[in-house]
Structure formats: structure tokens, C-alpha cells
Amino acid sequence: MHWLRTLMVLVFLGPFAWTSEARACSCAREPDDRVAFQKARARASTVFRGRVEDLQPVGGEGRPLEHRVTFTVTETFKGKARAQRTVTTSVFGTACGYQFEKGVDYLVFAEGSESKGLSTHSCSRTRPSDRAAVELGFLRGGTSPFLQRPKVSCTRCDLEATARVLVCPGPGACAPLPEAEVAAALAEARPFWTPVKARAFPQGPMVSGVSSGGRAFQLELHRPSRAEEACVHRVLRRWCERLVPDRSEKEPGLKCVGRLSEETLCDEWITRRPLR
């Protein structure tokens, strides 16, 4: 009877476990960044700045469900001041898990309690400290910078132009491949690129293709939660072991199988400069 009860529990929970991972992360966005910041600070039980010292996968049997992230705290803006903090976040981007990197300094908006533990997610205003000058200035007691944003310019990140460089390094036209011809190009290992139009991405639009060197890739135009601010976009490249057609109703296009590495190819923030 014990095995029967276990089987019934697995049958009941199975669909919920699958859908929680498959469903894309979707963050509610405030049109007014000042209001968004105030709500994020109000929701958080702890707000601090700290450096990631350790990053450990936890939970699950053979497959981690969360990352336990340990920080050395340098500043505390809300909650009890501590020299070290541990925060959890989902390992799944589709479940709004935040992708921390060891050795990087972050401004963290964490929810939860001291007794039950703290957690954060990609829909909070958690972000690297070098991209949180506006928030840090306000948290340190300055006047609100959200009332009037400085006018800036930068070298814009162009997703399709980046794809053309990967696929057609020489001069000449390099048009996107129509969706109907993608399967044949994959079978023949021909270089190509194609935009993924029919998919809802929490961060930004994507392009998939095969480079002139025969490597499968995906490009993503990463748009932070403060997308209304100018010059904050990045183009990320992911190398894949291969691309396979994904004909599911919700996410048609190409699926990256066996992600090998990720690299920032363009970052508008680096070229930001004030307009005089």
C-alpha cells in the first residue's frame, strides 16, 4: 500500500512540477520607475549590497531546485545589519530565478524572514551594483533620481547586425532565413540566422542560427526591468551543441540543446555618455 500511495502522489504532483518549469517568467511592470522602486523596497524585508562568495545548488533528488547564495555584506539599507547573508533563488529562469555570478557585487532586494530564510528573484530590483547607481544613490539618502533622468547617448546594440557578423563576416547582404527553409539549412549545416518572432521572452527578443564557422548559437537582446531607461541593453550570445526545431504551440522556433557558454557581445552601458 505504501508504494501505491507514493505513486498517487507522484501522479498528482507531476503535471504541476512540469508546468512550473515550462512556464516562462513574467514580471509585472510599472510604467513609472519611481513607483516600481518604491514597491520593490516595500515588498523586500531586507535590502543590502554584497559580494557573492559562494553559490551552491540545493534541493531536489539529483536535480537542484534552488541556488543558495552567500554574500559578504558591505551595506545594509533595510533589515538587520549582518556581515554575511544567505539568499536562495530558483535555478530555473522560467521560474524567475536570478542568475548570480561568484565574485560579483550586487544590490539585493530579498523577501522572507530571518527565521524562515530569505529569497530573491529576477522580478525584484536585484542587480549588479555597477548597474544600480540610481538605486544606491537613493538608498544612501540622496534625493530621488527618478524624478528626472539624465539624458544620455550610447552606441546602440543591434541584435540583427550582430547576427549578420556571426553568419556573414564578409561584405554583402546577409538576410534572415525564412522559417520554411530553416530545417533544410540545419540538415545541410549551412550558416544562417533567423529571428524567433512568435515567442514571448521575459527579457527580450532572440535570434537563432549557425555561424560561418559551423557553430549553433542563440542571441538575446537583454532588456532589464528598467527598460524605459536609455542605453541599458545588452546582446548575449549562447553557443549550443545543436539547434532543434521546437514546434510546440506556445514556443515555436528553435531550441538550443546543450548550452556551452554565454558571452556579452554588446553592452550599451559601457558606452553611455551624458548629452551636453
- Least confident interval from 86-100, 159-173, 239-253, 261-275: 239-253
Number of domains in the chain: 2
Say whether pLDDT at 116 is over 70: yes
Q: Identify which of 155, 154, 177 has the alpha carbon closest to the alpha carbon of residue 164.
A: 177
- The mean pLDDT value for 220-249 works out to 77
pLDDT band at 150 (very low <50, low <70, confident <90, very high): low
Domain assignment present for residue 246? The answer is yes
pLDDT tens for residues 159-208? Answer: 889 999 999 987 777 899 888 898 899 888 899 999 875 444 445 678 89
Phi then psi for residue 34, to 5 deg, are -65, -45
pLDDT, residue 87, reads: 96
pLDDT of residue 169: 81
Phi, psi of 37 (to 5 degrees): -65, -45
Q: Which of 49-53, 173-177, 239-243 has the lowest mean pLDDT?
A: 173-177
| Average pLDDT for 127-143 | 83
- At 14 the pLDDT is 43
Least confident piece of the model among 25-34, 72-81, 121-130, 148-157: 25-34
Looking at 3-17, 74-88, 103-117, 129-143, which range is the least confident one? 3-17
Please state the pTM of the whole predicted model: 0.49
Rounded to 5°, angle at Cα 98 from 133 and 17: 160
Residue of 48, 63, 58, 51 whose CA lies nearest to 17: 63
Q: Is residue 262 a part of any domain in this protein?
A: yes
For residue 149, the model assigns a pLDDT of 57
Average pLDDT rounded to a whole number, residues 15-38 = 62
Flag whether pLDDT at 29 surpasses 60: yes
Same domain for 212 and 255? yes
Q: Which DSSP state fits 149?
A: P
Same domain, 192 and 224: yes
Provide the domain limits for residue 244: 152-274
Instruction: Give the contacts of 195 (CB within 8 A, at least 6 positions apart).
Output: 159, 160, 176, 205, 206, 207
Q: State the average pLDDT over residues 146-165.
A: 80
Task: Return the pLDDT at 229.
Answer: 67
Q: Kindly report which listed range (154-163, 227-236, 242-251) carries the lowest average pLDDT score.
A: 242-251
Strand arrangement, sheet containing 192-196: 192-196, 206-210, 216-222, 234-246, 253-267
Write down which residue in 139, 162, 184 finishes a domain: 139
Domain boundary among 90, 114, 139: 139
CATH assignment at residue 120: 2.40.50.120
The whole-chain average pLDDT of the chain stands at 80
- pLDDT confidence of 55, banded at 50, 70, 90? very high
| End position of a domain, from candidates 110, 139, 168 | 139
Per mean pLDDT, which range of 191-195, 242-246, 249-253 is the poorest? Answer: 249-253
Is residue 6, in this structure, part of any structural domain at all? no
**How far apart (Å, rounded) are the C-alpha atoms in residues 177 and 181?**
7
**CA atoms of 5 and 16, how far apart (whole Å):** 18
96 CA to centre of own chain? 8
